[in-house]
Amino acid sequence: MRTSILLPLFSVAASFFNVIDARAVFAHYLVGTITDAHALQDINDAIAMGLDAFALNVADPSASYVAPALTSLFSHAKDRGFKLFLSMDLSAKGGGSLSDYDYIFTDYATAGAWFAGPNGKPLVSTFSAAAFTAPDFTTWRASQDIYFMPDFDGTSGYYDAADSWWSYWGSVVDGLFSWESTWPNVGATNDGDLTLDTTVQAGAVAHGKTYMIGLSLLQYKDAYSTNLYRRGELNIAKRMENILKMTTAPLYVEIQTWNDGPEGHYIGNLWTEANGDAQPATYATQRGASHTGIQPLLTQFISAFKNSETSFPASTNPVGAIWYKTILQSTTCPDNSLGGFYSAPSGASVGTDTINWAVVLPTNGATYSIQFVSNGAVAATVAGKAGFQYGSVALSANQQFMKVVDSAGTVQYSTGLGRCVSATCWDDIYNYNPQILALEQGDHASVGCWQMTQQASAANGATNGPFYPSGI
C-alpha cells in the first residue's frame, strides 16, 4: 500500500471545486490495466458522447495497476476538461479498511479533474456497503470533507425507504445511488420499471438528500461462476423515457457501465489489456460485440435530461439503433449437459426473438417510415414521428436490419454490418450478449451479416468478430 502525509483529508478549501448543483450524467468505469493512449481515448469518447464524468470503480486500491491507471485518467481528464470521481468497490475489495482508499483522495482530489457534488466538495460513491457498518463510515468520514453518495442498496430496509434504515444510515450519506434497481430481477419482465427508484428517492428527498439513478442495457454474465440474464429487450429505451418523465427528477444519472465486458452492459471500449480472460471474451469483445452503437441514442438522452426536458426533443437528423441476441430461444447448445458456463443462463426463459429498437427523428419525423428487415423479408413497418419512439419486432434467423425511409421511398438512414442470428450455437454457450447496430446515413442493406462457419472455432466468435478467419 502506498503511504502519504495525510492532512485532514479533503479539508482542502471547498472553493477549489466548482459548486455544481445541476443535473449531470456519468458512466461507471472499471479501473484496470490500461495504456495511456487508451485512457485518453476513453475520455475523448465520453466527451463526444456528452458525459460529465466517469465514476471510477476501484476494488483493491493497493493493486499495482490502480495508481498508473488513475494517473493517466486524471492527467487526460484535466487536459480535456472532463471529470472523474471515486466509486469504492467495497464488495470486491475483500476486507481491509476504508482508509485504504485515502491515498487516492490525497493524490488526485486536487488534480483539477475531480467532480464536485452540490456542496462543492468532491463526490464519492461506492459499490455496496459490504460488511462495513454505519459507525465505520462515520469514523472514516470524520476526516473526509466530501459529498458522499454511496450504493447501499444491499442493506436491510433500503428499498422500502424504511424509517429504521434512515435512523441507522441517514447521517452517513449526502445522497443515494441504487444499482440493482436498474434491471428487472432474474426472470422478471418489467423492463424500465422505476418503482424501486421512486420509493428510495422519495425517502432521500424527505431527509434532505439527493438521488442518482441507474441506466443500463441489460445484465448478462457468463463468467467467474455466474451465469444469469436480466432483461435487456427494451430496458434502456423504457428507462430513458421514464427517467425524463419522473415527477421529481434525480440529480444525477449513472450509466452502468462504460467497460464492464463480463456483465454485458458496457457501452464504451473494451481494451484487451484490461481483461483478456477467456470466458467473457467468448461473448464480449470490441471486435465481435461492440456496444458503441448505443452511444448516439444516449447522447440524445443526456441532452434531454440535462436540459430538464420531459421527453426527447426532435433530433437534427435521424438517430437510432437496433439490438438483438444472436441465437434463437429454441437453440440448444451441444455442451448444455456440462452445466455451469455451458448451460442456459438463469432468466433465459424471458428472452425474446426480437429486433429491439429505438429512434429519435427530426421535426418532420412523420414524413418517415421505419422499416425492419429480418432474413431478407420486411418484418414490420412503423410510422415515424418527431422525437423518440421504440419497440420490438419479431425476427427470423440471419440478417437483422433497420432503415429509415422518406416519403419518396428513399432509404435515408440504415443499420450496417452485424452478426447473423442463428439456430446453431456457434459460441458453444447460450450467448445473450446483444449485437448493437447504430443508424448510419445511406442504404447499407447489401452488407449482409457475419457468422462463424464451423463449430470448432466457436470460442473465437466474439473474439475474432466479422473478419474471421482473416486478419487474426
Instruction: Supply the pLDDT for residue 94.
Output: 82
DSSP 36: H
At residue 77, the 3 state secondary structure works out as: helix
At residue 258, the 3 state secondary structure works out as: coil
Contact by Cβ (8 Å): 282, 462: yes
Partners of 212 in beta bridges = 177, 252
Instruction: Supply the pLDDT for residue 51.
Output: 98
The H-or-E segment that residue 280 falls in is: helix 278-281
Measure Cα distances from 433 to 220, 283, 295, 326, 338 in Å: 6, 6, 17, 8, 21
Instruction: Supply the pLDDT for residue 342.
Output: 97
Stated pTM of the model: 0.93
**CA dist., res. 464 & res. 471, Å (int):** 9
Instruction: Supply the pLDDT for residue 453.
Output: 55
Instruction: Supply the pLDDT for residue 456.
Output: 39
Give me the residue label for grid cell 457501465: 257
**CA dist., res. 124 & res. 114, Å (int):** 10
DSSP 19: P
**CA dist., res. 173 & res. 365, Å (int):** 45
Instruction: Supply the pLDDT for residue 18.
Output: 44
**CA dist., res. 66 & res. 20, Å (int):** 27
Spatial CB neighbours of 243, under 8 Å, sequence gap ≥ 6? 194, 213, 215, 249, 250, 253, 301, 305
**CA dist., res. 307 & res. 386, Å (int):** 18
The closest of 436, 147, 423 to 268, measured between CA atoms, is 436
Instruction: Supply the pLDDT for residue 11.
Output: 39
What is the phi-psi region of residue 382: left when phi exceeds 0, alpha when psi lies from -120 to 50, beta otherwise? beta
Domains of the chain are: 17-306 (3.20.20.80), 319-451 (2.60.40)
| 417: phi then psi, degrees, rounded to nearest 5 | -70, 130
To 5 degrees, how large is the angle CA 279–CA 416–CA 235? 60
**CA dist., res. 237 & res. 258, Å (int):** 17
pLDDT tens for residues 421-435?
999 999 999 999 999
Neighbours of 397 (CB within 10 A): 19
What is the phi-psi region of residue 187: left when phi exceeds 0, alpha when psi lies from -120 to 50, beta otherwise? left
Burial of 471 (0-12, 13-18, 19+ CB in 10 A): exposed
At residue 187, the 3 state secondary structure works out as: coil
Grid coordinates given for 92: 470486491
| 270: phi then psi, degrees, rounded to nearest 5 | -110, 110
Residues 398-412: b if buried by 16+ CB within 10 A, e if exposed: bbbbbbbbeeeeeeb
Which residue ranges of the chain lie beneath pLDDT 70?
1-21, 452-465, 467-472
At residue 391, the 3 state secondary structure works out as: strand
Beta-strand ranges (E) seen in 59-171 are 83-89, 123-127, 147-148
pLDDT tens for residues 275-300?
989 999 999 999 899 999 999 999 99
Contact by Cβ (8 Å): 231, 184: yes
Instruction: Supply the pLDDT for residue 464.
Output: 63
Instruction: Supply the pLDDT for residue 47.
Output: 98
